[in-house]
A and B are shown apart, each in its own frame.
Chain A
Amino acid sequence: MAEYSAFSILKNAISGNRDWKPAWRKPDPKPSYDVVVIGGGGHGLSTAYYLAKEHGITNVAVVEKGYLGSGNVGRNTTIVRSNYLLPENIRFYEHSMKLWENLSHDLNYNVMFSQRGILNLAHTPGQFDDYARRGNAMRHEGGDAELLYPDQIARLYPGLDVSPKARFPVVGGLLQPRAGTARHDAVAWGYARGADRRGVDILENCEVIGFLREGDRIVGVQTTRGDIRARKVAVAAAGSTGRVLKLAGIDNLPIESHVLQAFVSESLKPILPGVITWGGGHLYVSQSDKGGLVFGGDLDGYNTYAQRGNLPLVEEVMSELLAMFPGFAKVRLLRSWGGVMDMSMDGSPIITTGPLPGMYLNCGWCYGGFKATPASGWLFAWTIAKNAPHEINAPFTLDRFHRGILIDEKGQGATPKLH
């Protein structure tokens, strides 16, 4: 019987809710594991979950320097989508979307995945043509996309001014109906519980401070809770990737760490039926199930590992939101925060074996980490278990930059702050 079900809720209610087990244990580190995953965020936890579920590798530890959910898995704007142009990205994010669609059942944990659609607004004919091209590319690879005209958009978003008199007139938009949002904390907790129940040790407040080596080979990690040996060490540290790999003597990576700020407003009655993005600049907004507007825009635009940004970007994001919805001018902001993004040189991720023997690397998520969580873990687990990439993540190598086979979705080149 599933741990969470209508019956179990009733049964536990009758017994005064005294018999619920913690969602995951708090074990002490064992001296050695088959696999140690560095990073207890969404990607690290899903990697451990799929290692256990898909590959039967259960002697696994996930080491996390803080508490579960303290990093980017709890800092994103919860958007899930797969509206990419390049074939490598469409295949990857479609794989992720299919895992999302069954995730609550798979985990027996309600991640509140809501396929409310994402609408990208176009404000120029050129942008509209570009969206048509992207939509065709998505459909060609088996995804879903619909090109909408202003009258169709007005029916979806009654609060949006689609008249030619608007400050930034809406020419049209690209809708991906299967996109949506999910509750990000539940994703972390669901994967953690699923991994834990299969035997994975989740070690919180356990920061990696060095690597154990035998010659070139990585044979474990030194942590604040002692040395842990491992046959395989998998790094899924997102914004901290550079800091972790420096401990292994790797000083250069095609990665810069930048801060991305996010915002949530006070609760409003339902006004935004889905996720909507503004094409006049860079802004994305949706409404949470509690009613708050959840939104964000560009990076602050300079290297940083601090999980906070500065005010000029706050002003820019607010002005973009109001350019799209002037009616939100009197809505009060509730909270804002920052997360550290591992911005790669082509805007696409890295999921690979290496770069040292015994090591596996998962990084370069830019803005795209949350929606990638299931596929990232699924493919990283495959790569770790089989010592070789799956065909979907085979293009996402570390050496593609030096080999000239970049996957540059936006065509921005090696300027990470622009991806």
Chain B
Amino acid sequence: MLITCPYCGPRDVSEFSYQGDGNRTRPDPASTDQAAWNAYVYDRINTAGDHKEIWQHSGGCRSHLAVTRSTLTHKISHVAFARGGLASVRPAGRDHGDHA
């Protein structure tokens, strides 16, 4: 797999660390809703298809990235900086899915 870092360009997956599922929303830190915290920690939608996830370019610029990648084909359709939350995910410009 190649991941196109918005800062560094296309790099091998071995430069990146997987930070996990990007579909989860952390409850307000002041929240005492036990069910919401349990769901945040333990429940996953485990998508078969396009999956929002967080990677860190730990062997490069160290940016946290919001990546949309198919869990069926490994094809990556979107990469963006994760800062600002996943709502800011935008197209990476180039599609490197053929290298998946």
Contacts and interface: CB of A to CB of B under 8 A. Distances in A.
B46 interface: yes
A255 B44 contact: yes
Contacts of B71: 257, 303-306
A301 interface: yes
A415 interface: yes
A305 B42 contact: no
Central interface residue in B1, B38, B41, B71, by most chain A CB within 10 Å? B71
A210 interface: no
Interface stretch (B10-18, B25-33, B78-86, B88-96): B10-18
B43 interface: yes
A67 interface: no
Nearest to A417: B18
A312 B11 CA distance: 13
Given A303-B51, A303-B71, A312 B14 contact: yes
Contacts of A256: 21, 44, 46
A269 interface: no
A306 B74 contact: yes
Interface string B35-59: 1001101111111100101000000
Contacts of A310: 1, 13, 74
Nearest to B74: A306
B18 A301 contact: yes
A301 B53 CA distance: 12
Interface in A241-272: 242-243, 246, 251-257
A249 to B, nearest CB: 13
Looking at chain B's contact residues, the main secondary structure is mixed
Given A242-B46, A303-B53, A415-B20, A252 B74 contact: no
Sorting the interface of chain A by its residue count into under 10, 10 to 19, 20 to 34 or 35 or more gives 20 to 34
A255 to B, nearest CB: 6
A242 B48 CA distance: 8
A345 B71 CA distance: 19
Interface in A129-156: none
A186 interface: no
Which residue, B35, B44, B72, has most C-beta atoms of chain A within 10 A?
B44
A4 interface: no
A254 B44 CA distance: 6
- Determine the interface band of chain B, counting residues with CB < 8 A from chain A: 20 to 34
Contact of B42 (A242, A304, A306, A345): A345
Q: Considering residues A256, A302, A345, A417, which has the most beta carbons from chain B within 10 angstroms of its beta carbon?
A: A302
Contact of A251 (B21, B45, B74): B45
A301 B1 CA distance: 13
A148 to B, nearest CB: 35
Contact of A253 (B13, B20, B43, B72): B43
A338 to B, nearest CB: 11
Given A310-B13, A312-B13, A402-B38, A302 B45 contact: no
Contacts of A401: 38, 41-43
Nearest to A255: B46
B44 A305 contact: no
Contacts of B18: 301-302, 417
A57 interface: no
A188 to B, nearest CB: 24
Contacts of A392: none
B73 A254 contact: no
- Most chain A CB within 10 A, of B18, B53, B72, is at B18
Given A345-B41, A417-B18, 5 more contacts: A251-B45, A256-B21, A257-B71, A304-B74, A401-B38
10 contacts: A242-B45, A243-B48, A253-B43, A303-B51, A304-B74, A305-B71, A306-B74, A310-B74, A402-B38, A414-B42
Q: Give me the 10 closest cross-chain CB pairs, A-B, nearest first.
A: A242-B46, A312-B14, A252-B43, A401-B42, A402-B38, A302-B18, A254-B42, A304-B71, A243-B48, A345-B42
